[in-house]
A and B are shown apart, each in its own frame.
Chain A
């Protein structure tokens, strides 16, 4: 007899299955609520300080001076921001105008990020694609510098900068921060994943080392470069110790340092409204970079080059 292949007639949901379905739905609802609760809590914890700063920057000095923490925007926003941007406020701890400091910070962060990327691309290129005597030594030396961040080598670096007469100009501010082991390692890892056949195909096509770098390696690295640029720009933007040490010319002051200088210690009378406005201004460029570059590397990610 051939096997019976007719379908069983549809049967109504069994009572115990109906209970199971109801229970599953209930559990899913409960889990959804729980997830959202935690997410909202997280958002609150991170967003509240920013909100308070934002709101604080729109009140007048006396409101905040009284010790209130307003949660709704006030009406003095424009004048606070204008004061912060143009003069740095009139408080006891005079600061440079935020406009100037923003420019300095942007220039510094930009130089650091591009410098780091340029140097690390080239050093990773050398370490991965060329065999020369001392290649591994070079690699390990770069690797070792990971253990020597600016803070550790700050005194010798300071001495070097002073001896080279780079104290004060932008060069002294950025050059010591540019040499970068992290970025070199990152690019090295990426370059190692590039198949040898590309190199060989390029050789047969007649592309020399620089041509290969420019025409093939760079375009393939775009996504990595974009991601790294964001990280390094923010790294540069947030530099505090080194600029504090190496800059004593007000016209070169960066915003992170300037912001800290605006805040007096103890029970000093601080112009909190202007300080908060400056803080908000200091936030904007990194946010802008993230937003702009995000577009870029999301595009890079969706069009994965393989």
Chain B
């Protein structure tokens, strides 16, 4: 039984449709990361699951129970907000205990649960402090603690790390992951940071303009992006896109930049002359002084172990390559090969991925 099930979730604010039918089934204990550009509806989706927003259409089931019409408090969920939303006039203890107190949990039980959560998060010494007497990372932990003591069926996180500095963010990211594994609570985690998404999620939901563009494991999304949006969104530096047309009965592509590349994994279904977009990740580009494409460099970024090169192909298309080691930038040009095994093929009209035919 799925621990969280969304079917056909739509949401419109007045005339603007923000979510266009999202379906998602989350397994028990799974960590799902919802990632996407700003304004694509991630928070809205999360808030619909939380019950802070009502969907215009569709249903939400948590642990098999239909909760679409229920109050947030009755859904057995806990949420961690971006700015933590700790009550400023309450101590850390009171903040964590408030939800339990309202539910009428006995005092001794509250003390025990808060104590355990605080121990787990390493904030046991801070219980008497007020939120303003805490650092950002400590507040973050308290917010987590408030979610944990509830022992909910579902954790919801809305960009909980974006107010932390870079170092702390990495640390808290790992901590959240460890904690989630340990508690085994199903979680939805919203972020716009792809590194966060890749490292945290069992599966990712890449959202694009109110649609779930792809739902899959991080590696699957990286290796086989479903469309050009996902392909460009995940991966850094972003994937290169080159124009081309299908030739040789679907066995190869003729790039606008010149060469014909034969697909390593088999022919694509489609008429010759069909317009394609070929994706190639910068880290898959190889140097090839003899047969490679000429790249006129306009920017070289040495990163130590790697070098990122930005330049233009003969046809004028921009291309980024990431090569190992230092690259002599002298001359302003470089010959690069595109390995046929690493190509991603998309239909130019729809942007959808085209896989090798059966």
Contacts and interface: CB of A to CB of B under 8 A. Distances in A.
Given A206-B102, A207-B102, A201 B73 contact: no
Interface in B177-199: none
Contact of B132 (A203, A215, A216, A305): A305
Contact of B87 (A203, A204, A206, A216): A216
Interface residues of A, number: 18
Interface stretch (A40-48, A59-67, A192-200, A233-241): A192-200
Contacts of B99: 204-206
Main secondary structure of the interface of A (DSSP, over half): helix
Nearest to A205: B99
Given A205-B98, A206-B73, A305-B132, A200 B85 contact: yes
Contacts of B88: 220, 305-306
A102 B214 CA distance: 76
Given A216-B87, A220-B89, A200 B98 contact: no
Interface string A288-306: 0000000000000000111
A200 B80 CA distance: 11
Contacts of A76: none
Given A216-B87, A220-B88, A306-B132, A204 B50 contact: yes
A203 B89 contact: no
A228 to B, nearest CB: 18
Contacts of B81: 197, 200-201
B174 interface: no
A204 to B, nearest CB: 5
B85 A203 contact: no
Contacts of A216: 87, 89
A241 to B, nearest CB: 40
B89 A201 contact: no
Contacts of B77: 204
Interface string B59-92: 0000000000001110001110111010111000
B103 interface: yes
A305 B89 contact: yes
B197 to A, nearest CB: 23
Given A211-B102, A215-B98, A306-B132, A203 B73 contact: yes
A169 interface: no
A62 to B, nearest CB: 59
Interface in A174-229: 195, 197-198, 200-201, 203-207, 211, 215-216, 219-220
A219 B94 CA distance: 13
A205 B89 contact: no
Interface residues of B, number: 21
B135 to A, nearest CB: 14
Contacts of A204: 50, 52, 72-73, 77-79, 99
A197 to B, nearest CB: 4
Nearest to B156: A204
B85 A205 contact: no
Interface string B81-115: 11101011100000000110011000000000000
B98 A203 contact: no
Contacts of B78: 204
B85 A197 contact: yes
A201 B147 CA distance: 10
Contacts of B98: 205, 207, 215
A201 B87 contact: yes
Interface string A154-187: 0000000000000000000000000000000000
Given A216-B87, A220-B88, A203 B71 contact: yes
Nearest to B82: A197
Contacts of A195: 83, 85
B85 A201 contact: yes
Contacts of A211: 102
Contacts of B52: 200, 203-204
Contacts of A206: 71, 73, 99, 102-103
A260 to B, nearest CB: 44
Given A204-B50, A204-B99, A205-B102, A198 B87 contact: yes
A81 to B, nearest CB: 44
A10 B294 CA distance: 63
B83 A197 contact: yes
11 contacts: A197-B85, A200-B81, A201-B85, A203-B51, A204-B73, A205-B73, A205-B102, A206-B103, A219-B89, A305-B88, A306-B132
Given A207-B73, A207-B102, A306-B132, 9 more contacts: A198-B87, A203-B72, A204-B73, A204-B77, A205-B98, A206-B102, A211-B102, A305-B89, A305-B132
Return the 3 tightest CB-CB contacts between A and B, nearest first.
A206-B73, A197-B85, A205-B99
Interface of A: 195, 197-198, 200-201, 203-207, 211, 215-216, 219-220, 304-306
Interface of B: 50-52, 71-73, 77-79, 81-83, 85, 87-89, 98-99, 102-103, 132
